[in-house]
Structure 1
Amino acid sequence: MKFSTKEDVEAPAEIVFGAVSDFAAFERSALRRGADVARVDPAAEAGVGMTWSLRFPVRGKMRRVVCELDEYDPPSGLRCRIEGKGFNGMLTLGLVALSRSRTRLAVQLEVKPQTLAARLLLQSVRLNRASYTRRFEGRVQKFAADLELRHLTSRAP
């Protein structure tokens, strides 16, 4: 199952990449939403090999996944590999500079079931695909709008 969306952001690619690679902010956001987040790797700097262990509720049951940063290419994007019980996935964030002050953010999430139980879980997601797609696109749009607002207010005199 694949979800993807693109959003144009009124900010330079370096600013957008800084926001999508602000892993501490994403950790805090996940904690506020009820997930348990633990950084697994000892690396101090952002880069390939960063790993997190996450636990979060999905359809009434706590699920555990391990997310590892596979690709870290400033300012063009990053990719995380996601592994859970019964499924694997990939989260890809790509950035394309449209101009000096405008960037296209492409977000793609792909989840592949590995077991029958995971296939059944993803089948229920497929049945509600439109709802999940709207939520996915809405979160990316909100992220882009918040980033634009922060960028514009930081440039204001």
Structure 2
Amino acid sequence: MQFSSKEDIEAPIDAVFREITDFQSFERSALRRGAEVQRTDALDVPAVGMSWHARFMLRGRKREMDVELVAYDPPNGIELEARSSAVLGRMRVDLVALSRGRTRLSVDLNLEPRSMSGRLLVQSLKLARNNLSKRFRLRIADYAVDLEDRYKRSA
């Protein structure tokens, strides 16, 4: 199952890349939402091989997931892989400079079942595909607006 979204951001590509690779900010955000997140690598700077272990509630059940940074291409984008016992997820974030002060953010999320319970989960997501796709696009749009606002405040 795949979700995709594109947004244009009024900020230079380097500033957008710096924001999408602010992994500590994402960790704090997940913690505020009730997830438990723990770094599982020893890297000092963002690079391929960064990894996290996360525990969170989803659809009424406690879930666990390992997340790894599998591609790191400054300032063009990143790719993350998330593995659980039921589902494998890959999220690719691509950046394209439209001009010196404008960047296109493209986010693609692909979910693949790894077990029978994963198949049931993905199948139930497919039944709600239109609603979930709309929510995904709205979340990416909100993130783009927040990113733009942070850039304007810091400039």
TM range (shorter): over 0.9
The answer for the alignment partner of 1:110 in structure 2 is 110
The answer for the alignment partner of 2:132 in structure 1 is 132
- One-letter amino acid matched to 2:149: L
The answer for the alignment partner of 1:146 in structure 2 is 146
The answer for the alignment partner of 1:41 in structure 2 is 41
Q: Distance in 2 between matches of 1:154 and 1:81?
A: 31
- One-letter amino acid matched to 1:25: S
For residues 32-79 of structure 1, the C-alpha deviation after alignment (integer angstroms, 9 at most, x for no partner) is 111110000011111000000011111100111101001111100000
The answer for the alignment partner of 1:26 in structure 2 is 26
The answer for the alignment partner of 1:94 in structure 2 is 94
TM-score by length of 2: 0.97
For residues 65-100 of structure 1, the C-alpha deviation after alignment (integer angstroms, 9 at most, x for no partner) is 101001111100000111111221101000000000
For residues 106-143 of structure 1, the C-alpha deviation after alignment (integer angstroms, 9 at most, x for no partner) is 00110100111111111111111122112211111111
Cα distance, 1:153 vs structure 2:
2.3
Q: Distance in 1 between matches of 2:81 and 2:153?
A: 34
Does 2:3 match 1:7?
Answer: no
Query: What CA RMSD, in Å, does the superposition of the two structures yield over aligned residues?
Result: 0.9
Q: Distance in 1 between matches of 2:51 and 2:133?
A: 26
In structure 2, list runs of 5 or more residues that go unmatched: none
TM-score by length of 1: 0.96
Query: How many pairs are equivalent?
Result: 155
Runs of 4+ in 1 over 3 A off after TM superposition: none
- One-letter amino acid matched to 2:102: R
